[in-house]
Each structure stands twice: as C-alpha cells, then as structure tokens.
Amino acid sequence: MAVEESEPVIGELEREENLIAAVRHIVKALGPNKTLTNDAKKILADLGTRLSSMSIPGEKEEGKRGQGREGGDDHDGGGADDDDHDDDDEGLSAIEERFSVIHEKIMRWEEDQSMIWDLGTEEASEYLNAANEARRLIEKLESLHLKKEDQEYEFMQRAYSVLQTAMARLEEEFSNLLVQNRQPFEPEYVSFRSCEEDAVDENSIISIGDESIEESLQRDSVSRAAEEHIIDLVHPAVIPDLRCIANLLFASNYCQECSNAYIIVRRDALDECLFILEMERLSIEDVLKMEWGILNSKIKRWIWAVKIFVRVYLASEKWLSDQIFGEGEPVSLACFVDASKASILQLLNFGEAMSIGPHQPEKLFRVLDMYEVLQDLMPDIDALYSDEVGSSVKIECHEVLKRLGDCVRATFFEFENAIATNVSSTPFVGGGIHPLTKYVMNYLRTLTDYSDILNLLLKDQEKGESISLSPDMSPEDSRSQGSPCRVSSMAIHFQSIASILESNLEEKSKLYKEVSLQHLFLMNNLHYMAEKVKGSELRLIFEDEWIRKRNWKFQQHAMKYERASWSSILFLLKDEGIVVPGTNSVSKSLLKERLRSFYLGFEDVYRIQTAWLIPDFQLREDLRISISLKVIQAYRTFVGRHNSYISDKIIKYSADDLENYLLDFFEGSQKWLQNPHRR
C-alpha cells in the first residue's frame, strides 16, 4: 500500500485513545458488582461477540500463513495486503521509493518557517503521517539487523536524520500550540478587597485587639467540588493535536525532549499566574525586613491567592497534563510536578519566612490565618502530589505547615509573657479600663475564631509538660467537670492569661495614692473582663463559674471603694459626740460643725471623684445609686432628725442638691462646688 493511501496516523491515534477510554469507563462502571441486569448482560454479550470476531493484525497474518503451509486455500494472497506494506518482501527499490516520499514531505517544511498547525489540519495530518512513516521505516530496517556494508544501511542512517529533523519540528510545533492556545487566567469569580484599607496600626495595641479579622475570601468560597475547580488552561480544540504529537514523540523515543518542551511552557504559564495573582517573588530576607503594615497586606493577599492557585490553577494544570500524556501515567505526573514545583515552593517560601520571623503578638492572627488555609489545602496538595515523584513538594508543604504551627505556639506564649512583663511607671488617669485589659480581652475574644486550631496546637505543646491549673480552677472544680484532661487546652491557657492579667492589674492599682481609687480601678477592669467573657464566645471557654467569681470580686472592690471614700463622711452624720452629756439635747455648735465638716468632705470628694471614670453606664449608675442609698439617705435622716436645731442658714445643700451632684461623679471631667444651690 502506498504511503498516500495509508490511513492518517492522527485518526488512528484518536480512535485508539477513544476506544481505550471507553473500555476504562466500562470497567469503572462495573466496579465490584457481581450481578447484572438482563439488558446489561445482553449489551456486554454483544460486545464480546464483536471482539471475538476481530483479530490483531499480526495474528491474522500468522493464521493465513499457517493455512498456506497446511495446503489451505490462499486466495487472500498470504497477507500481502497488511499495513506494513508486506515489508518482508520489500526490496531495495521499494525502500528507496518509500524513503524518498517521506524525505520530501518532511524536508520541504525546513525551507518554510511557517508553523504547520497554523496552516490547517490537512497539512498537520500529512506531516504527522510522514513522521510516523519515518519511524516505522526505521523500525523495519532495524529489525533486519543490517551491517554497514548492506545497501539498506545507508537508507536507515538517512531515515534517522529525517526523523530527527521531524522530531525537532514537532517539538517546536508542540511548544507553539501550547503557547498560542493558552487561555487567559482571570480569576473573576473571586474578589479581593484592597488590603491597604485593612493595614493594622502597629503602634496601637488596642487596634490589634479590636480589629475585625474578617477575610474577603471565605474559607469555602472556592468550592471543593472537582468540576468547579477545573478551567481550560489551553484551548480544548488543540488537546487532541497535542496528544497526537506527544504520542508520536514518545513512540520515537523523544520522551525527554517532549517533556522538557511541555515543562518550559507550563512553568512560564504558572509564573504568569502568580503574577496575575500579584504574588511577588520575595526572599526570606525581604519578608523579615518588611514593615508590618505592608506585610499584613501581603499576608492577606497570600491567603486569598494560595487557595485559588492550589484548588483552581494547580488542579487544572494536573488535568491538562493528564489530558495530553494520559491520566495517571508516570510521564504526566512527572511533567506536572516539574512544571509546578518552583511556583508552589515560591508560595511556601513566604509561609516559611513568616514562621521564622519575630514572634510579635500582633502577627498571631495572620499566622493563624496562614496555618488555617494551608491546613485546609493539605488534602488537595496531597492528592495533587500523591506519587513518589511529587513527594518532595508534599513533604515541604507539611514541613511549612509544621513551622507555622510552631510559630503560632511561640507567638501565643510571647503574648502571655508580654502581659506578665507589662510594667507601668504612672497610674492610668481616672481609674478607668486600662488599655492592657482591653487589648488582652479583645485579643482572646478574636482568638476564639481559631478554637479548633489553637486547641490542637496548644494540646501538642502540653504533651510531656506539666500544666498547672488556673487559680480559679481547683482540683474539686476540675473533678466536677470530669478529669482534668477533659478541660480544653484553650480553657487552661486562656484562664492562665486572665490570671496573669489580674495580677498585673493588682500591681498597677498600687500606683494610685488613694485607696478608694485603687478599688475603683480594679472594679472597672474586673467588671470589663467579666462582661467581655459573658457577652462573647469566651463564655464557652471560661464557663459560668469563672464569670461568677469575677462578678463577686468586682462587687467586693465596689464595697471597699465605698468604705474608703465615704466611711469618714458618714461618721459625721452620726449622733455620737454632738449630744450634751447628761441630757437628750444636741449641742447646736457641735451640730453646726458637723454639717460644715460634712459639706467640706462632700465637696472634696466631689472635686476628686468627678475626674474619675467608670466607662460602663450600668456600673456607673449602680454605684451612684448605692452611694445615694448610703450617703444621701443618711444625710436626709440626720437633717430631719435634728431639724429643730438647724436653721436654714446652716443648710448649705439640700438632699436633692446632693443627689443631683452625684450625677457628676465618675464622668472623667473634674468639677468644683463653689456656689451653693447651683450646679
């Protein structure tokens, strides 16, 4: 059969691959089933009959030859019409003619720099057929075990040269098809809010605690469903052509050349993807030198980008490799790994840099975000790099995840240490809620968003260590909750941090000269701690018993404040010392002196404590009411009891006046009582 009459190789390859794919699908569909319906049995029986009537070309030829030897009818020509052109009987002239046709079809394109596949399918198919014919001719000549002096040997050497030329051209066409048909990667299905708006003020410890750790890309916004992951990185129309070229290159033992061409093109495409995702190539030194505001934005960008890169782009890259080289084939896995390795390691390099940087408390939330997203992606990464050839990438991913976990633990304990070592040289003005209290409680509240991760990482830290119980958790408490090991790792560490904070606040309270202000300060801060726990997810960690103890403590400090501030003034409203001995009468002069001292005392307390602050409205109102019930009521009773001895000139303030003046207390704005009956 002449070369022109042979069936195009591109059609052969496509049909064979479609057949193999269909058979694989049938096998997969059958699965472990041991029973079939009648319809299924009939279809499979028909398929078996069809297959039994078909034969492998070599077997058919051998059968015909056997029939000839046995004297059978040889009307078919003994297999002379087989696809190998009856090469057993092919003479030198036929080989020369065959080679001449191949040479002409291959070499004429060396003078034309146009890309063959750009000119249409007819030219591409003709070139593939010619290259395949060169390969088959070489295989035939090699099977003859020629010697150098044999005439056919020269044709074999020339065929080698022509095949090499064809392979080089096909490699070039392969690369060009991959490049020219690359699909634009624009992740329009996800959005990323400008990171610059969310930069944290590194000079404000409160802003860190109060910051909303809200990600612009939710954890599950990139679906895990496989069909939603895959996008076309190369136009689907050229996949069959790429597959045919690759098959021919591999059949001709140009495996490495084909693989290298693919890897170079796809590696550049992956670099371009990272560029589109705005992932810079940063060294560890670059990351460590970066200001926190800029670094914070880059971390958010990394968290957003790594999800898309792994679940969408790498998944699609793996699918593309499988489409061209065959699903699960070693060469497909190797090409995917070699093409993607540099890019995924570039992303991991940023994670490693974050893990070895200084363990500053304000960075903990971002490191937790990075750990969380990488942990969530590990099943995807393990699946993508499941073979031994990708084990180095998988190992590196797990190692970076471990380092980020170590960084989380180290940063958490640095946060705990920072609280313990926070020292003040001057008292906090007004006795309100100290910034450290706000920072710590808001910090802990935000950490509850990472409960699962923190429990896991802190539990790992506790292995082999002796963890002391919080002062608020006695052995009896732990037994009442079950065994101590049932208490979550977060509960143990969070209560420990709260105890450290309380001890620090005790020390800070001693900076106040007034004992009453010491108690007011502790009342404010303990109340804030209790309310913060009660009104958030922290309640599930600290539990109600902890809240009850904090409530009891701040109420004790409120009582101690009242005693320290008002006991001496209340003593002035007692009858002791103003009744004339031996009589029931009251000394008017002593009564007058008592009232004058009371007014001076109240004015002094007013001047001082209007500058003090109770930020919580309800707590402020409750304390004012308590003072009114004790002080104003005592004043009202005292004046009423001795009304007959007191003239209007002696009364400087009525009980209602004093009641109104109490409304100025604890507002953080100092005032003086200068004009009676006026506010």
Segment 37-47 mean pLDDT = 61
Which pLDDT score, from 0 to 100, does residue 75 have? 35
List phi, psi (to 5°) of 579.
Answer: -85, 130
Question: What distance in Å separates the CA atoms of residue 509 and residue 506, rounded to the nearest whole number?
Answer: 5
pTM of the model: 0.73
| Residue type (1 letter), 104 | E
Which pLDDT score, from 0 to 100, does residue 603 have? 94
Q: Is the model's pLDDT at 192 over the cut of 50?
A: no
Q: What is the dihedral of CA 385, 386, 390, 393, to 10 degrees?
A: 60
Tell me the pLDDT tens digit for each residue of 367-410.
999 999 999 999 999 999 988 888 999 999 999 999 999 999 99
Q: Is the model's pLDDT at 45 over the cut of 50?
A: yes
User: What is the CATH superfamily name and number for domain 253-421?
Assistant: Exocyst complex component Exo70 (1.20.1280.170)
List phi, psi (to 5°) of 566.
Answer: -120, -10
Do the domains spanning 253-421 and 573-663 agree at the CATH topology level?
yes
Tokens of 300: 């958010």
Provide the 3-class DSSP secondary structure of residue 453.
helix
Q: Is the model's pLDDT at 108 over the cut of 90?
A: no
CA–CA–CA angle 374, 376, 382 (5° rounding) = 80
Q: Is the model's pLDDT at 475 over the cut of 50?
A: no
Question: What distance in Å separates the CA atoms of residue 565 and residue 606, rounded to the nearest whole number?
Answer: 11
Tell me the pLDDT tens digit for each residue of 224-235.
333 347 889 999
C-alpha to C-alpha distances, 397 to 115, 390, 515, nearest whole angstrom: 41, 11, 57
Segment 45-61 mean pLDDT = 48
Question: What distance in Å separates the CA atoms of residue 621 and residue 609, rounded to the nearest whole number?
Answer: 14
Q: Give the CATH number of domain 573-663; options: 1.20.1280.170, 3.50.50.60, 3.40.50.10090, 3.30.1950.10.
A: 1.20.1280.170
Which pLDDT score, from 0 to 100, does residue 142 have? 74
What secondary structure, in 3-state letters, does 87-146 show? Answer: HHHCCHHHHHHHHHHHHHHHHHHHCCCCCHHHCCHHHHHHHHHHHHHHHHHHHHHHHCCC
Q: Identify the weakest region by mean pLDDT among 17-21, 124-128, 528-532.
A: 17-21
Determine the straight-line distance between the first and last CA of the chain, rounded to whole angstroms.
118
Question: What distance in Å separates the CA atoms of residue 661 and residue 522, rounded to the nearest whole number?
Answer: 24
Which pLDDT score, from 0 to 100, does residue 649 have? 86
Question: What distance in Å separates the CA atoms of residue 542 and residue 472, rounded to the nearest whole number?
Answer: 10
Q: Break the chain into its structural domains and give their ranges.
A: 99-106+116-192+230-252, 253-421, 573-663
Q: What is the dihedral of CA 260, 266, 268, 271, to 10 degrees?
A: -130
Local confidence band at 11 (pLDDT 50, 70, 90 cut-offs): low
Segment 312-326 mean pLDDT = 93
DSSP category for residue 37? -
C-alpha to C-alpha distances, 112 to 131, 164, 302, 450, nearest whole angstrom: 17, 17, 47, 63
Decide which of 585 and 46 is more confident. Answer: 585
Most confident among 105-109, 188-192, 382-386 (mean pLDDT)? 382-386
